Structure 1
Amino acid sequence: MLAACAGGNTGNKNNAAKAANPPASSNETDKVDKKEDTPAEGDKIEGGNAVVIVPQDPDYLDPHLAVAAGTTEIMFNVFEGLLKPNEKGELYPAVAESYEISPDGLAYTFKLRSGVKFHNGNPVKAEDVKYSYDRLAGADTGKPLNVSFAGIANIETPDESTVVFKLKENNSSFLTALTAAIIPKDYADSNTKPIGTGPFKFKEYLPGQRLVVEKNETYYVSGIPSLDKVEFRIIPDQEAGFLTFKSGEADIYPRIGTEKLEELGDSYQAVSGPQNLVQVLVYNIAKKPFDDIRVRQAINHAVNKDELIQGVAIGRGIKLGSHLSPIMKHYFQEGLEDLYAYDADKAKALLAEAGHADDISIKLSVPSNYAFHVSTGEVIAQQLSKVGIKVTIEPVEWAVWLERIYKGRDYEATIIGFDGKLNPYDILNKYLSDSSNNFFNYNSPEFDKTLTATVTEVDAAKRTDLFKQAQTILAKDAAAVYIMDPYLNVALKPKLQGYKQYPLYVQDLSTVYWTK
């Protein structure tokens, strides 16, 4: 596993791409009875089971409460929204069949696809969609579970197959929010027996051991999925996961370490590439000495990112300078990766100027089940020691990390990876001063104003420029140390085909199949 990931604002769940996957657009109907041709189609075996290694338990099975990206990685196969992404990150209709947007951008009208059923056999109706998205919008509580739904004025259901969203103001990113999971109206057991509409349905969950999903026989896409059952086997220790895979007990090992991937040799399939993930060294800006920008800048200059990419990622990573990966090339601000070039002397000078020449001691709390972060922390500790900063590494269990550090903000510094989203606003909004998951304790009125303006900006070029300005503000403020987008490495057994890599933190098993 390359990186532990805490998601953006809760509840934004995406699901698996279908065999036919044109991008969604106004008045567009998606044809779902096509099957993708593959070179090995003639050797395809229908059915069979697969075991996928994952390093963490889900935090919640309820898709509207989950914040851990590792949960989405698994439940991607169970839940769907009105829309879903394909492997290129493009949106297209899922539970919806088509949609229209009013000229003023304040009304979105969706027609539901006929024949879509929940895993309990009940048909999906407009009232289920309204219930799901009202819940995310906090219609009853006044507290949105997902900030992307906070701008909804009301949701109307003129009939069983029509849903109309009325917005308080124009929201240029609203469509991406509608990838969030649709669940049955008034269903109270989502956290123990989740029910969705995806290609696989939930079967069982044994904490610390496995989560199992099985084929949705009534899925509305012809020929999807092929596999009968998928077991996500929970193995926090990377070495144990590697031995399990190498022994043949598992079939897919996502986020395997680069050195382990190379150790496997040519006897296994390998997929590797950028994954739209941001690995960061986070310091708690609310605590001294991190409230001093000179200290934050010094730490940035003291961290040698090139050394980390070569030493920890074995060269498979892209250097970053702010909280966006270059895989989001349309919105990515180039040049920030060199804003704080490695310079130990400059780091020492900044620390001396701040009155901390040799008196800084940092407790670096690292999620212990992610070897990549542990290794990164060890190298960074050595690098910071060269400028007089003493680092003590504290291994922290993942569940504890989520509660104490991510939610409780009780930490000095940590290393984590943030999963990518389809919309840059959903990636950057965790830095808003009033964001519930701003565990950086970052506060910048300039950033707040700039990023918030992207929501209502209708001019695409101006909106892109605002996103680039927001990245620049984070970089200049040294809001964190932005390290790399480490490549996603996936090892697979040779007879598995159809695996797709997404610019999202997910595992799509719907298109995977066995061959003879």
Structure 2
Amino acid sequence: MQLNRRNLLKIATMSGAVLALGGRFAQAQGGQTLRVGLSTYPPHLRPWVNVGYSGHLLCSLINRTLINYDEQGQLVGELAESWDNETPETWRFTLRESHFHDGSPVTAQDVEWTFQQIQADGSGAYMFDALRPVTGFEVIDERNFRLTTDEPLATLPALMTFPFLSILKAGSTDAEDQGIGAGPYRIAYAEKGVSIELEPNEHYFKPGLPTLAGITITPYVDESARVAALNAGDVDMIDYVPWSAMAAIEADPALALHKVDAGAFMYLSFNGGGVFADPRLRQAVAFGLRRDEFVKSIFFGFGAEMTGLPRAAGSPYRHDDQAAFWGYDPERAKALLKEAGHENGLTVSLLSTSQYSMHRDTAVLVQAQLAEIGITVNLTMPDWATRVNLGNQGAGDFAVQGIGLDNLDPDAVTTLVDPSLSPTYLRSRNFEVEGLGEALAQGRSEMDEAKRVDIYRRADQMVLEATTFCGLCYRATGFAAKASVQDLAMLPDQLSPFSSVLFDKLKLG
């Protein structure tokens, strides 16, 4: 039965044929089916490739990683029951007793095969670079394996949480793109661009879960249509709630808004190939911005000011003085301009995009605010694809950016704050900060947390003073649901866009 259903799924996905298959699964189970309005249909169902938050929502329902985060931001075992740093370069993992959708056990050999697929040249896997330090994989027995790294790697457990590092049954992607996972649900039916139906995985390793009879996912690309579908009762839950609709949803007693204000964030990156080679000018920009206006005018008050680096509240790596480093100080900004030889003003170009309103409006607000301190900003705002290409080519003096973090390890910000890394549109380029790269590398290899806290405090101070990264504001991450949807939990802070890893607990009241 499993093989036939997978073949039918493959045919339906490829041809677009309409099969009346999924509805019967939900009816056969009895109970209630959750209807989800998704912001977009995933571009494809291939594993290990980051296709955005919508793709992650589906991935987290059908697959599981070795390790996960809980609601408090603590690492907890998923398919891995335990892990231990045996030596500075070796980690031993023990798998819990768990099974894939077809009932076969999850083994160390399956984990090894998954790593091999991700690490293969040309895999296209998002974690390809992140797993480069893993140089050895030893199968000890069915439920135990050992990973060897080329140097001490304190970040390894956090890397295992990434949503697109799902463990699949060995060889299962030969039959169909998505393979066979071990998540709480499995795909019963999919019509590309139209809908996806999920049925419970009776082999799921968490007792009593999932409780739903099934999940039906329907894409609503237009955000107004997505909200309207929720209000009309056509769906029970939506993702990527538009900020313009959050207040109305929050005020509706029939609905519930589940949000985290310090979610993904907006920031500026700098091109050191021009005037921003001078750190005083980067600092002038940072001190010349009223961040509360970004939260209020662009995100309708649903967000938070970002006056430091993205460090989660309550984390030992977050320090109050550093978190409030970039307060609004126009006089200091003007003094820095004068000190850098631009007392009579400065003209720069800002790269953004007209395609997404939050990027467009952020650029316009940056332009207006910096004009007040004597910086004239010329805007370049093409479509998104052109913007990315221009950014990768190094166009513009500085650029508007928006992103979230993959995990809560302090090293997660490295790819955004170290301009000495290979050029990409997402971070500053063409300048270096003496000692920063070395400090960040030291932090990755230090196993003692107290020492890591000191190392990253020092590295963060380098970033703040050199302004290799200029935070603007956090934007709230939200899911909206009917009041009858129960046990919808959110991951903390920057992890909140990935909260669907907790949706195995969802139920309808």
Query: If the length of structure 1 is used for normalisation, what is the TM-score?
Result: 0.78
The answer on whether the counterparts of 2:62 and 2:184 sit within 8 Å (CA) in structure 1 is yes
Q: For each residue in 1:484-506, what CA deviation from the matched residue of structure 2 results, as whole angstroms up to 9, or x when unmatched?
A: 23333332111111101112222
The partner residue of 2:296 within 310, 313, 317 is 310
1:341 aligns with 2:327: yes
1:368 aligns with 2:352: no
1:106 aligns with 2:89: yes
Q: CA deviation at 1:409?
A: 5.9
Q: For each residue in 1:311-368, what CA deviation from the matched residue of structure 2 results, as whole angstroms up to 9, or x when unmatched?
A: 3344443322333234253211322354333234544454453549555253442473
Higher relative contact order (CA 8 A, sep 6+): 1
For residue 80 of structure 1, what is the aligned residue in structure 2? 64
Unaligned runs of 5+ residues in structure 2 are: 1-29
Larger % of helix: which? 2
The answer on whether the counterparts of 1:319 and 1:337 sit within 8 Å (CA) in structure 2 is no
* Matching residue's letter, 1:512: L
Cα root mean square deviation, aligned? 3.4
For residue 456 of structure 2, what is the aligned residue in structure 1? 467
Mapping for residues 20-99 of structure 1, pairs under 5 Å = 46-54=31-39, 56=40, 58=42, 61-66=45-50, 68-99=52-83
For residue 138 of structure 2, what is the aligned residue in structure 1? 156
The partner residue of 2:469 within 472, 480, 493 is 480
The partner residue of 2:413 within 410, 423, 427 is 427
Return the alpha-carbon distance in structure 2 between the equivalents of residues 428 and 294 of structure 1: 22
For residue 487 of structure 2, what is the aligned residue in structure 1? 498
For residue 390 of structure 1, what is the aligned residue in structure 2? 377
For residue 26 of structure 1, what is the aligned residue in structure 2? none
For residue 15 of structure 2, what is the aligned residue in structure 1? none
* Matching residue's letter, 2:376: I
For residue 109 of structure 2, what is the aligned residue in structure 1? 127
1:277 aligns with 2:260: no
Higher alpha-carbon Rg: 2
For residue 451 of structure 1, what is the aligned residue in structure 2? 440
Q: For each residue in 1:104-135, what CA deviation from the matched residue of structure 2 results, as whole angstroms up to 9, or x when unmatched?
A: 34332223233411x35543222110122234
1:509 aligns with 2:491: no
Deviates more, 1:320-329 or 1:504-513: 320-329
The answer on whether the counterparts of 1:277 and 1:325 sit within 8 Å (CA) in structure 2 is no
1:439 aligns with 2:426: yes
For residue 416 of structure 1, what is the aligned residue in structure 2? 402
Deviates more, 1:304-313 or 1:206-215: 206-215
Q: CA deviation at 1:287?
A: 4.4
Mapping for residues 86-235 of structure 1, pairs under 5 Å = 86-102=70-86, 104-117=87-100, 119-137=101-119, 145-179=127-161, 180-188=165-173, 192-202=177-187, 212-235=197-220
Unaligned runs of 5+ residues in structure 1 are: 1-44
Q: For each residue in 1:59-93, what CA deviation from the matched residue of structure 2 results, as whole angstroms up to 9, or x when unmatched?
A: 66444332745533442222222222222222222
Deviates more, 1:60-69 or 1:108-117: 60-69
The answer on whether the counterparts of 2:197 and 2:217 sit within 8 Å (CA) in structure 1 is yes
Deviates more, 1:335-344 or 1:486-495: 335-344
Q: CA deviation at 1:215?
A: 2.7
Return the alpha-carbon distance in structure 2 between the equivalents of residues 363 and 211 of structure 1: 40
Q: For each residue in 1:257-289, what CA deviation from the matched residue of structure 2 results, as whole angstroms up to 9, or x when unmatched?
A: 444222232333334553653523323425433
Return the alpha-carbon distance in structure 1 between the equivalents of residues 193 and 145 of structure 2: 39
The answer on whether the counterparts of 2:92 and 2:146 sit within 8 Å (CA) in structure 1 is yes
Return the alpha-carbon distance in structure 2 between the equivalents of residues 243 and 175 of structure 1: 41
Return the alpha-carbon distance in structure 1 between the equivalents of residues 326 and 83 of structure 2: 45
Query: If the length of structure 2 is used for normalisation, what is the TM-score?
Result: 0.79
For residue 23 of structure 1, what is the aligned residue in structure 2? none
